[in-house]
């Protein structure tokens, strides 16, 4: 039995974590694989679709991160393989701290003042406090739950939206299509933590933005294809939304000529909200 790593990430840290845990394992980095018939596990991230067919005895395709959309979108994914993903404690902690940092930076205008610092302007702006906004989290799964706990403990009012109904004494969770509008109507900061599926692709669009109160702020830390980029630009431009923090994009790296780079109301980070450390996986 052997493992193949197929990824656009530097595999060194994964190789040494696997060697440390199971020195007897044969681990290869694609395309340097000695005997493709012996490969039963593939550890993947943004791999070239179609290549998994080269391994006739593949049993498991393991995502190197929390998302499996890059695997499920592979039209040539072998039919009988098991697909797994990483769920580790640190991933949730990192995501929660990142979202908290973004929200605080938005409330206290830190990015706006970075701009006024560059242009040497002394223009104090009115700020908001933790007690002011309601934060709505779309997607109350592994990461959404961690983020809601962190925000609640910091003193924020938090609500959530998920697929299935549930009771949660700590916070109100709206569910399903019928409760999306009432959920949106009440929130000032939207955090997208949905998985990318045919039902959630393009969900952050102008119809959804129009249901948010005026001056709402949008955070997308899930997947780039949740967001209709031109709709976001239109709703920032017409003043309905006050800004957006985006960590994920339809095309990554974000192309040099993309308008987000030049839009002061958009805060761009390069997909760093929470990265799976190989030692935890």
Ligand X SMILES: NC(=O)c1ccc[n+]([C@@H]2O[C@H](COP(=O)([O-])OP(=O)(O)OC[C@H]3O[C@@H](n4cnc5c(N)ncnc54)[C@H](OP(=O)(O)O)[C@@H]3O)[C@@H](O)[C@H]2O)c1
Q: Which residue has the tokens 């700590």?
A: 170
Q: Shortest gap between Cβ of 26 and ligand X (angstroms)?
A: 29
Strand, helix or coil at 3?
A: strand
Contact 4, 30 (CB under 8 A): yes
In angstroms, rounded to a whole number, what is the distance separating the alpha carbons of residues 148 and 96?
8
Catalytic residue among 223, 225, 226, 267: 223
Q: Binding mask 209-228 vs ligand X (x if CB under 6 A, - otherwise)?
A: ------------xxx-----
Task: Please say if 258 is a catalytic residue.
Answer: no
> Under rule CB under 6 A, which residues in 186-205 are in contact with ligand X?
193-197, 199-200
| Cα 272 to Cα 121: distance, rounded to the nearest angstrom | 30
Binding to ligand X (CB under 6 A) within 143-182 occurs at: 143-144, 162-164
Q: Which is nearer to ligand X, 18 or 273 (CB)?
A: 273
Tell me: does residue 4 bind ligand X (CB under 6 A).
Answer: no
Helix-helix angle 110-118:89-107, to 10 degrees: 60
Site string for ligand X, 83-102 (x = CB under 6 A): --------x-----------
Phi, psi of 130 (to 5 degrees): -55, -35
Does 248 bind ligand X (CB under 6 A)? Our answer is: yes
Active site residue 85: no
Are the C-beta atoms of residues 28 and 34 closer than 8 Å to each other? yes
Give CA–CA dist 94/53, Å, rounded: 35
Active site residues: 223, 271
Which residues of this protein are in contact with ligand X, per CB under 6 A?
65-67, 91, 139-144, 162-164, 193-197, 199-200, 221-223, 247-248, 271, 273-274
């Amino acid at each position: 039995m052997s493992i193949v790593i197929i990824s656009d990430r530097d595999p060194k840290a994964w190789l040494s974590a696997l060697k440390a845990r199971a020195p007897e394992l044969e681990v290869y980095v694609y395309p340097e694989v000695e005997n493709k018939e012996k490969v039963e596990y593939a550890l993947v991230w943004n791999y070239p679709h179609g290549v998994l067919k080269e391994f006739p005895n593949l049993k498991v395709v393991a995502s190197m991160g929390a998302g499996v959309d890059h695997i499920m979108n592979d039209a040539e994914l072998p039919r009988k393989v098991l697909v797994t993903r990483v769920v580790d404690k640190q991933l949730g902690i990192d995501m929660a701290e990142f979202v908290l940092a973004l929200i605080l930076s938005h409330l206290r205008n830190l990015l706006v003042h970075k701009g006024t610092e560059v242009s040497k302007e002394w223009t104090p702006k009115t700020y908001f406090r933790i007690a002011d906004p309601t934060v709505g989290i779309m997607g109350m799964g592994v990461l959404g739950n961690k983020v809601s706990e962190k925000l609640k403990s910091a003193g924020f009012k938090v609500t959530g939206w998920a697929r299935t109904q549930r009771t949660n004494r700590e916070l109100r969770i709206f569910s399903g299509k019928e409760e999306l509008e009432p959920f949106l109507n009440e929130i000032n900061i939207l955090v997208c933590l949905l998985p990318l599926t045919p039902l959630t692709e393009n969900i952050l669009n102008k119809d959804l933005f129009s249901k948010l109160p005026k001056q709402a702020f949008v955070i997308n830390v899930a997947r780039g294809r949740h967001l209709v980029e031109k709709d976001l630009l239109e709703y920032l431009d017409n003043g309905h939304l006050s800004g957006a923090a985006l960590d994920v994009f339809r095309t990554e790296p974000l192309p040099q000529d993309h308008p987000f780079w030049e839009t002061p109301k958009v805060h761009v980070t390069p997909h760093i909200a929470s990265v799976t450390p190989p030692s935890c996986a």
